Amino acid sequence: MSETVQEKDDVEIFTTKDPGEGLPGRVSLPGYTRTMGPQTHLFEERERLQQLTWNHFSARQLSPTIGAELEGLDLSQELPQKVIDEIHQALWDYKVIFFRDQKITSEQQIRFASRFGELEIHPFLPPNSQTPELVRFEKNAKAAGYENQWHHDVTWREEPSKGAILRAVEIPPVGGDTFFVDANAAYEGLPEEIKQKIDSLHAIHDFLRAFGRQVPKGKRDEIREKYPMVEHPVVINHHQTGKPLLYVNRIFVTAIKGLNEKEGYELIDLLCREFEILEYSCRFRWEPNSIAFWDNQAVQHYAASDYSPHIRVMERASIKGTRPKRTRR
C-alpha cells in the first residue's frame, strides 16, 4: 500500500488533517511582525452582541464586535425619548449603527443628531450653505477623496467629537464604501509588552497635519492660538463603557511625548497597523438615503477613495464630546 494518503497525477498528499489543527491560537509568520490565526479575544464580545434584543427596532449584526443595521425606524419622525435612549444604547454596544431608506432633509438630520448632544461646527471643512452644523463632503472630478486613512475625527480638539452622523446625499455607481474598526479590539490584540509600554504615554495631535492648506497665511498665529496642539493618552477609556481604546492615528498625531521623532513615528505606525486587521472591522456599502452613526471614541473609520471622477456627496453632523481620559490598570 502506498505511504501517501492519496496519489493522483503524480501529486502526493501527505496529510488528512487541516493545517490549523493543533496550532496554539495565533502564530507568527517567520521573519515578519504579523501573525495569523483565530482572533480569540473577539469571541466573548461577539457572543454578547448576539444575545442582545431591542424593544423599538431590530438589529442585524455586521461583524463579530462592531456594526449593526437597525431596522424598523423612521428618522424623519420626532422619536420618543425612550426610542432615542435605546438607539444610544445600541451605539454603545455596536460602536457604529446604520440606517437604510431614510429619506430625510438636512434639517431633519440636524434635529435627529441634536437628540444626542450639542452639535459642533468644523472650522476647516466646508459646511452645507444652509446649515453650518453639517459638514458637506462633495467629491467630484476636481476634489478626490483623501479620507482613506484610519482615523478618529477631530482628535486635534481638546474635546473631540463624541459621535458623528453621516448621511448619503449622492453616491457613486460603484465604490465609496466606508470601513469602521473597533478600537478596543485593536488594543486588546496588542502583545502585553506593548500594552505596558504605551499605557502611560501621550500623543501630540495637531490640526495642521491635515488642514494646514485651509489656513490663510496671515491668520496662522491667530488660529494656532485658538486650536493649539493637544495631548491625549495613547490609550483612553471609553467615557461610557470604560473599555480601553487605542487612540492614535496617522492623520492628526505628530509625535509621542517623551520619544524622539524616529521612535515616535515608529511607535505610531506600529499601533496604527493594528487597525488594519480585518477581523476588527466592518464595511458599509452606501445606498441612497443611508445613514451611519458612529461612536467617535470606540471606532476609527476609513472612506475608500475608489470612485473618482464620479460624484460622492455626504453630510455629517458631529456631536460635541469630552476630553479623552485614561484610568490606569
Let me know if residue 261 belongs to a domain.
no
pLDDT over threshold 80, residue 3 = no
Let me know if residue 74 belongs to a domain.
yes
Residue range 83-117, pLDDT digits in tens: 999 999 999 999 999 999 999 999 999 999 999 99
Let me know if residue 114 belongs to a domain.
yes
Let me know if residue 119 belongs to a domain.
yes
Q: Which domain holds residue 67?
A: 40-143+159-175+283-298+307-319
Let me know if residue 198 belongs to a domain.
no
Residue 151 annotated to the active site: yes
Residue 106 grid coordinates: 438636512
Tell me the C-alpha distance between 308 and 241, whole Å.
Answer: 39
**From 93, 152, 153, 182, active-site residue:** 153
**From 88, 167, 316, 326, active-site residue:** 316
pTM of the model: 0.93
Q: Cβ contacts of residue 152 below 8 Å, gap of 6+?
A: 160, 183, 247, 249, 296, 297, 299, 300
Grade residue 237 by pLDDT with cuts at 50, 70 and 90: very high
Residue 41 annotated to the active site: no
Main-chain dihedrals φ then ψ at residue 152, nearest 5 degrees: -85, 150
Tell me the C-alpha distance between 295 and 277, whole Å.
Answer: 19
282: exposed, middle or buried (Cβ count in 10 Å: 0-12, 13-18, 19+): buried
- CATH code of residue 68: 3.60.130.10
Let me know if residue 139 belongs to a domain.
yes
**From 122, 301, 312, 326, active-site residue:** 301
Let me know if residue 8 belongs to a domain.
no
Specify which residues 295 forms β-bridges with. Answer: 163
How many structural domains is the chain composed of?
Answer: 1
* Residue of higher predicted confidence among 2 and 154: 154
Which among 267, 235, 238 is positioned nearest to 250, based on CA atoms? 267
Residue 122 annotated to the active site: no
Let me know if residue 290 belongs to a domain.
yes
* Cβ proximity of 60 and 71 under 8 Å: yes
Residue 46 annotated to the active site: no
Tell me the C-alpha distance between 310 and 127, whole Å.
Answer: 21
